Structure 1
Amino acid sequence: MTSHSHRRAPWLYAALSTTVVLGLSCSSLPTFIPDLARQPVRPVPLEGVHGPLSAAQSRAILQRLQSGGQPTDIFSRHLALEEAIVGSPLTTGNAVRLLQDGPATYRAMLAAIAGARDHINMETYILDDDAVGRQFAQALLAKQAQGVQVNLLRDSVGTFGTPKAFFQRLSAAGVQVLEFNPVNPLTAREGWEWNQRDHRKLLIVDGQTAFLGGINISSVYSGGSFGKAKRVDPDAALAWRDTDLLVQGPVVAELQKLFLAAWKDQQGPPLPPRAYFPPLPAVGKQVVRAIGSSPEEAYSLIYAVLLSAIGSAETSVRITNAYFAPDPQLLAALVAAAARGTEVTLILPSRTDSWLVFHAGRSHYDRLLRAGVKIFERRGVVLHSKTALVDGVWATVGSTNLDWRSFLHNHELNAVMLGAEFGQQVQTMFERDLAASDAIDLAAWERRSPTLHLQEWFGRLWEYWL
């Protein structure tokens, strides 16, 4: 299998098989107390432009957010727990813009790069040597030549097929290029973990503007998934459907901290001094939390927060995700939400670049459908989005798939946005995808072919490693 989002070198699969056969110890997802979301509520602090807000200010903002949405107890039941789990602050005064698909996202990213004056920090899983990859490389080189410092952190497996000369050209021009967990053990640094990958997608310009979400830097994203725009890659049959964010405001400092921490953890060279943390005035009204997860932590922060949000849901859970191979606890959370009357709707792929993940996920359809979870498969595109909306007021967009690899082995990055205003934007996007999706009917699903049963069984065997 040569998967785009889960790209691995062929020899890595031999290593995977050997590991399974030898029965080596492996990580496991933590078990969370079932009533964790019902712990006593504590005050939820918020952080503004000038630092932490007072308890009264924080309470006023949360009350405004709650009053703007549908009746829900998510703010009182969930936010204090999320604060305890994550530790990163809820920040106010942010502007957040939804970006859908490659063309719109790339235009916004390249425009931000062109306007850079001090530095550019970029972290990516895939950076291909194709039309789009070369366009980004040229844009970065042009800014480096102008005295803007460019720092690039790229995953070794994700960029395995990109020629070394591509990155050598960047390095020769002064771009700081750091390879995350090199595939080659001979070039590995202390603390090397071959199965840990940097799946984050993050671009920060001048410490003031940031992009994050699911998009990689590759020509496969060159076509819009809702229109008939011509694709740069003539061999690609389907457009890729992805979702990203453009954010400005105080939360950018939290994203900058995550980038710099990842650089340090990978033992990168000291970065040239720049204004990495400029003053960040309020530019909007969005309340946002940045959440980074890594295998070095006791558990995935994004996983814990998502479980908490689903466990606190009262009216609706709406999830769109590209790679759905859930663990038993996430499955149980979805089933329990449906059982208490919450409307749970999943939009999942009908086509995929990862055959094993696709069928591993489908092996769970029976249980979910019987529990009342509504499942739709997005037609006509390769679905790559990773979004969730709970009760219309809690939304997340990021790089995290709903599979074991994202929760256990990957460095991931998500943002959580609170409030009905942004929630409505996500809801509108969800409904648009829903209209372009086909419902999975339980009766029809039970009549699927023995071949599909076999494929699901085989996919389930590899679920942990995908």
Structure 2
Amino acid sequence: MSYLTRRRRDRCEPLLWPGDEPFRLFTEGDELYTAMLAAIDRAEREVALESYIFADDEVGRQFAEALAERARAGVRVSVHLDAAGSLFWASRGLDRLLRQSGIRLRWFHRWHWTRPLRYNQRNHRKLLVVDRRQAYLGGFNIHRENSRRYYGERRWRDTHVAMTGALARQAHAAFRALWQGRPYHPDPASERPSAVVLPNKSADCPHRLHCVFAAMFGSARQRIDLTTPYFVPDAWTQQALADAAARGVAVRLLVPHQSDIAPVRWIARRIYTRLQRQGIQVFGYRSRLLHAKTLAVDGDWASVGTANLDYRSLFLNHELNLCARSPTLAAALERQFETDLADAEAFDIAARPHRPIGDRLLTPLAWAARRWL
């Protein structure tokens, strides 16, 4: 009997959304933002929010006003934003609105000349926890670029997941640990193999997600569907995927057809060609900017969160993922993967498109610096 089933039978706080599903998946920003704003509006005791980007635009202002209203009503509201991620998106006016409303606002690792190296480590997490009962986690930032209403058909393609019960409490514990600047200590009583919210940094492991992903790849027997906008993996991760393909696992990787970050674009083909020669299928998503970070293994294991499969997410930044043994969630991710493939095409390792000489000259430098991309 799974942990989710046991908790429900014991008549504890329900983990299931309407429809008897343990998770709710979002792939459209307008639907996600509506659900998050409604959750904030219903908050009675506490709202905790962190985001890499929080823009002063139509979407950001809706969130700012909703958070401010709850703070004025006596709800404890804590907002943790990344100083670098929101640097060109937020504003002093937005900062002032949040603070004057009684919101506890904190900017993660603002630049200071006395501690320049810490600026390289970012809080890349996107999380909302309401009353420690509901949590929303994934790749969506708070900005108009994810909204069909405000950005149109070219909106970013992303994925988020909503959770309740014990998982929401785990998400809140992860929020509090980073807010307080202390190591995250997993609670052995609440952490179960069936589903867990995982920071990539914890007291017992400084790169936890890296180990979990490798374990998922190593356990695969049938198929791996992996979506990531930035794919610059370490050698161990590449080898784990190659080993899976060698075992006969159908490994499919969905990435942007052309990355929006030039150094990643310069070295991407080098990595993709190597993987394809080892039996891994690599598809380039064309229609929109791909920003989702999801994984489905054997229709059984699933992961949704903020971590890309690159050095920065796995070893440097603060990230947060839901990792779950859930056929329902895995099936939903596999269906979305197939939908995304309709807007993608397989990379052709035989084709060698002409690249500007500048790109060819800078590729070795980008490869040498791949741990910082």
TM over 0.5, yes or no? yes
Cα deviation for residue 45 of structure 1 reads 9.6
Aligned with 2:306 (options 381, 399, 417)? 399
1:210 and 2:112 aligned: no
Change (3 A) 1:358 1:109: farther
**Most deviating of 449-458 and 175-184:** 449-458
Cα deviation for residue 181 of structure 1 reads 1.5
Cα deviation for residue 449 of structure 1 reads 2.1
1:448 and 2:353 aligned: yes
Change (3 A) 1:164 1:252: same
Aligned with 2:250 (options 343, 349, 361)? 343
Cα deviation for residue 298 of structure 1 reads 4.6
Change (3 A) 1:45 1:195: farther
CA contact (8 A) 1:321 1:386 kept: yes
Aligned with 2:341 (options 418, 434, 452)? 434
The residue identity in structure 2 corresponding to 1:104 is E
Matched with 2:59 is 132
Aligned with 1:253 (options 169, 179, 192)? 169
Cα deviation for residue 313 of structure 1 reads 0.8
Change (3 A) 1:180 1:93: same
CA distance in 1, matches of 2:194, 2:59: 33
Change (3 A) 1:362 1:48: same
CA contact (8 A) 2:231 2:255 kept: yes
1:263 and 2:179 aligned: yes
Structure 2 unaligned residues grouped into runs of 5+: 17-21, 184-189
For residues 51-450 of structure 1, the aligned pairs below 5 Å read 93-94=15-16, 95-161=22-88, 162-185=90-113, 193-223=118-148, 230=149, 232-233=150-151, 238-265=154-181, 287-294=194-201, 298-444=205-351, 447-450=352-355
Cα deviation for residue 238 of structure 1 reads 2.8
CA distance in 2, matches of 1:350, 1:149: 43
- Flag the structure with larger Rg: 1
Structure 1 unaligned residues grouped into runs of 5+: 1-43, 54-90, 224-229, 268-279, 281-285
**SS of the residue aligned with 1:338?**
helix
* Relative contact order, higher structure (CA 8 A, sep 6+): 1
Percent of pairs with identical residues: 34
CA contact (8 A) 2:26 2:160 kept: yes
**SS of the residue aligned with 1:265?**
coil
Q: Between Structure 1 and Structure 2, how many residues are aligned?
A: 354
CA contact (8 A) 2:14 2:164 kept: no
The residue identity in structure 2 corresponding to 1:175 is I
Superposition RMSD in Å: 2.8
**SS of the residue aligned with 1:290?**
strand
Change (3 A) 1:45 1:417: closer
Cα deviation for residue 441 of structure 1 reads 2.2
Cα deviation for residue 422 of structure 1 reads 2.1
**SS of the residue aligned with 2:141?**
coil
Cα deviation for residue 101 of structure 1 reads 2.8
Change (3 A) 1:143 1:102: same
Cα deviation for residue 296 of structure 1 reads 7.5
CA contact (8 A) 2:15 2:163 kept: no
Cα deviation for residue 434 of structure 1 reads 1.3
Cα deviation for residue 163 of structure 1 reads 2.0
CA contact (8 A) 2:283 2:345 kept: yes
**SS of the residue aligned with 2:39?**
helix
1:286-315: per-residue Cα shift (whole Å, max 9, x none)?
Answer: 942110113876531111100111011111
CA contact (8 A) 2:225 2:253 kept: yes
The residue identity in structure 2 corresponding to 1:184 is H
Change (3 A) 1:166 1:250: same
CA distance in 2, matches of 1:302, 1:92: 27
CA distance in 2, matches of 1:164, 1:439: 44
1:150-188: per-residue Cα shift (whole Å, max 9, x none)?
Answer: 1111111112222233212211211001111222346x7
CA distance in 2, matches of 1:358, 1:218: 24
1:327-361: per-residue Cα shift (whole Å, max 9, x none)?
Answer: 11111111111111111000100143322223333
CA distance in 1, matches of 2:182, 2:68: 23
CA distance in 1, matches of 2:206, 2:277: 30
CA distance in 2, matches of 1:295, 1:377: 33
The residue identity in structure 2 corresponding to 1:218 is H
Change (3 A) 1:192 1:138: farther
CA contact (8 A) 2:7 2:14 kept: no
Matched with 1:19 is none
Cα deviation for residue 463 of structure 1 reads 1.1
**SS of the residue aligned with 1:178?**
strand
CA contact (8 A) 1:351 1:381 kept: no
TM-score (ref. length: structure 1): 0.70
TM-score (ref. length: structure 2): 0.87
